């Protein structure tokens, strides 16, 4: 009987394998739904703040940036309304002297040419306060030690760290620039290779941007679908969370910006 069972199983497996065939995805009747994507951030820096509007694209569409032109875009903090102008196709900007304020909720309102309307809101939390920042030489790296604290327990969820060396962005070479630091103290050491310090004396600046918990979740979702997507225990692919209404994608955020600078003198 065992021999008969083995023969039946082998026959069943062979039948399954013989029935498999390559699937051409272009033959599948997959309906693509066009969705507006919003990418914008209001900060406490006095500068031209920008909002990008474009459309998602189908899997077979090679044009990945279908910019949305001719929209009416405004931002309000509940007291003041700022109308944005279209600087270039799909890019809407404030004037160059606009700056957000901490402890306010900012709401973005968008009306497209076809009359579709979208809104998004984010609270602008005050940044953490940097108490200590210094560097030490550790073999072939300079370790940048940072200690900071939250102003209050309800400050927000996280901060984004950006590092500059002699005015050049260095963050792409560092890990864990998005940091969870809700309601308390924060300590971190970032290592900068000596090879990236091209001068004998270098100015190292850290730029700390506060973000809400919703923005933190959005960034985690983005990481899950990009740089973390090769992990063995990765999550199931899905659209990232969003605060854009009416089925939109992307995220509109508000951030307080804090900067601190130190000087590193290369040791001979």
| pLDDT per residue as tens digits for the range 199-253 | 889 998 988 888 888 888 888 888 776 654 454 455 545 568 899 999 999 999 9
Confidence (pTM): 0.77
Residue 229's pLDDT is 46
Answer yes or no: is pLDDT of 44 > 60.
yes
Q: What is the mean pLDDT of the chain?
A: 80
Q: What are phi and psi of 5, to 5 degrees?
A: -60, -40
Residue 183's pLDDT is 57
Residue 155's pLDDT is 60
Q: What are phi and psi of 218, to 5 degrees?
A: -60, -45
In angstroms, rounded to a whole number, what is the distance separating the alpha carbons of residues 86 and 94?
9
Angle at 145 (CA atoms; ends 140, 147), nearest 5 degrees: 170
Give the residue from 36, 42, 34, 35 showing the smallest Cα distance to 215: 42
For 64, 69, 92, 112, the CA distances from 53, given in Å and listed in that order, are: 12, 8, 8, 10
Spatial contact of 242 and 248, defined as CB atoms under 8 Å apart:
yes
The percent of residues in the chain predicted with pLDDT above 90, rounded, is 42
- 174 band by pLDDT with thresholds 50, 70 and 90: low
User: What mean pLDDT comes out for the span 151-159?
Assistant: 67
Task: Write the CB contacts of 233 (distance below 8 Å, at least 6 apart in sequence).
Answer: none
């Amino acid at each position: 009987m065992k021999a008969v069972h083995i023969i039946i199983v082998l026959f069943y497996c062979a039948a399954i394998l013989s029935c498999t065939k390559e699937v051409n995805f272009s033959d599948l009747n997959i309906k693509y739904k066009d969705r507006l994507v919003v990418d914008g951030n209001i900060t406490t820096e006095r500068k031209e703040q920008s909002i990008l509007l474009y459309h998602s694209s189908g899997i077979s569409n090679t044009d990945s940036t279908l910019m949305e032109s001719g929209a009416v875009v405004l931002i309000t903090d509940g007291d003041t309304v700022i109308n944005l102008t279209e600087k270039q196709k799909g890019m809407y900007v404030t004037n160059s002297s606009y700056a957000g304020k901490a402890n306010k909720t900012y709401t973005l309102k968008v009306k497209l040419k076809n009359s579709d309307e979208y809104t998004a809101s984010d609270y602008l939390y005050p940044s953490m306060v940097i108490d200590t920042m210094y560097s030490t030489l550790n073999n072939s790296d300079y370790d940048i030690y940072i200690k900071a604290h939250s102003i209050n327990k309800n400050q927000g969820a996280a901060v984004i760290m950006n590092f500059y060396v002699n005015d050049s962005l260095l963050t792409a070479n560092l890990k864990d620039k998005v940091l969870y630091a809700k309601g308390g103290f924060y300590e971190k050491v970032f290592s900068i290779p000596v090879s990236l310090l091209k001068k004998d004396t270098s100015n190292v600046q850290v730029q700390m941007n506060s973000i809400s918990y919703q923005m933190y979740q959005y960034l985690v979702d983005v990481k899950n679908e990009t740089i973390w997507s090769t992990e063995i225990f990765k999550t199931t692919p899905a659209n990232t969370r969003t605060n854009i209404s009416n089925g939109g994608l992307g995220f509109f955020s508000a951030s307080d910006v804090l900067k601190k600078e130190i000087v590193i003198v290369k040791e001979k």
